[in-house]
Copies of this chain bind each other. A is one copy, B any other.
Amino acid sequence: MNYKIIDVKERLLADNDRIAAETRAALARRGVLLVNLMGSPGAGKTSTLLQLIRRLGGEFKIGVMEADVDSDVDARAVSEAGAAVIQLHTGGLCHMDAAMTAQGLEALEPEELDLVFLENVGNLVCPAEFDVGAGLRMMILSVPEGDDKPLKYPLMFTVSDLMLVNKMDAAAVFDFDPEAAAQRARALNPNIQIFPVSAKTGKGFDALADWLRQWLTEGRRRD
């Protein structure tokens, strides 16, 4: 029976990778950047989006896909911030896959947009396994989770292009060593870009917005 499950999983991942590659190519043709935003429950994904929409919403047309097991708490907050939002329910599934993402994108009409964020299901394990076709993978580690998380959930840190270290405003309350967290992440992924931020106070988000702005502008120049 083990053999059977693995068989299905391999088939599933191969299909997923094919759909993800198609999504990535279609978005590149249209000059749209899709960012897959991942992190544990409560790491600060939604408040990170609100900070970024505030800084980039004037220059770029932003869309957001809110993926949740079951609720629309975040979609309302993001919609009030002025982005185009679509809520996706995974129906109990612990991650988004490429087919669900493609469906969501279709409903968002991405040809009208410059930048689309997928807020993935709060989970440090499963979303790392599924390529959704994003141009950038951005993960959040929050200070209260601890600086040992790259040791325990290595795949997420390995596949991400950016790592935000959020809730830096609470660093004094927790035994969190930002240098240790950064070293552990870089040991898995030497190219990972690390941004210490506080989605509560906004600190650090100007630097992140600058980085994304540059990525978007250079991406367009290539087109």
In the complex, how many angstroms separate the beta carbon of A36 from the nearest chain B beta carbon?
17
> Do residues B68 and A152 form an inter-chain contact, with CB atoms below 8 A?
yes
Question: How many angstroms from the CA of A153 to the CA of B89 in the assembled complex?
Answer: 12
* Contact yes or no, A92 B42, CB < 8 A: no
Flag A43-81 by CB within 8 Å of B: 1 or 0 each: 000000000000000000000000011110110000000
Q: How many residues of A contact B (CB 8 A)?
A: 42
* Contact residues of A between 142 and 163, Cβ < 8 Å to B: 142-146, 148-149, 151-155
Report copies per complex: 2
Interface locus among A101-109, A119-127, A206-214, A215-223: A119-127
Per-residue B-contact encoding for A9-45, CB less than 8 Å = 1, 0 else: 0011001000000000000000000000000111000
Asked whether, in the complex, the Cβ of A152 is within 8 Å of the Cβ of B69, the reply is: yes
* Residues of B with C-beta under 8 A to A42: 40, 142, 144-146, 149
Expressed in whole angstroms, the Cα–Cα distance for A169 and B170 within the complex equals 12
Determine whether A167 belongs to the interface, using a CB cutoff of 8 Å to chain B.
yes
Given pairs A70-B152, A94-B94, 18 additional interface contacts (CB within 8 A) = A1-B11, A5-B12, A40-B41, A40-B42, A40-B124, A41-B146, A69-B152, A70-B154, A73-B151, A92-B129, A94-B125, A122-B125, A123-B125, A126-B126, A144-B167, A170-B170, A170-B173, A170-B174
Q: What is the CA–CA distance of A71 and B217 in the complex, to the nearest angstrom?
A: 40
On chain B, the residues within 8 Å of A169 by CB distance are 173
Q: Determine the distance from Cα of A129 to Cα of B125 in the docked complex, in whole angstroms.
A: 15
A125/B126 in contact, CB under 8 A: yes
Chain B residues within 8 Å of A153, by CB: 41, 69, 122
The one of B122, B145, B151 in contact with A71, judged by C-beta atoms closer than 8 angstroms, is B151
Return 22 A-B CB contacts under 8 Å, by A number. A5-B8, A5-B12, A41-B124, A41-B145, A42-B145, A42-B146, A71-B151, A73-B151, A73-B152, A74-B152, A92-B155, A94-B94, A94-B123, A94-B126, A121-B125, A122-B152, A142-B144, A144-B144, A144-B170, A170-B170, A170-B173, A173-B173
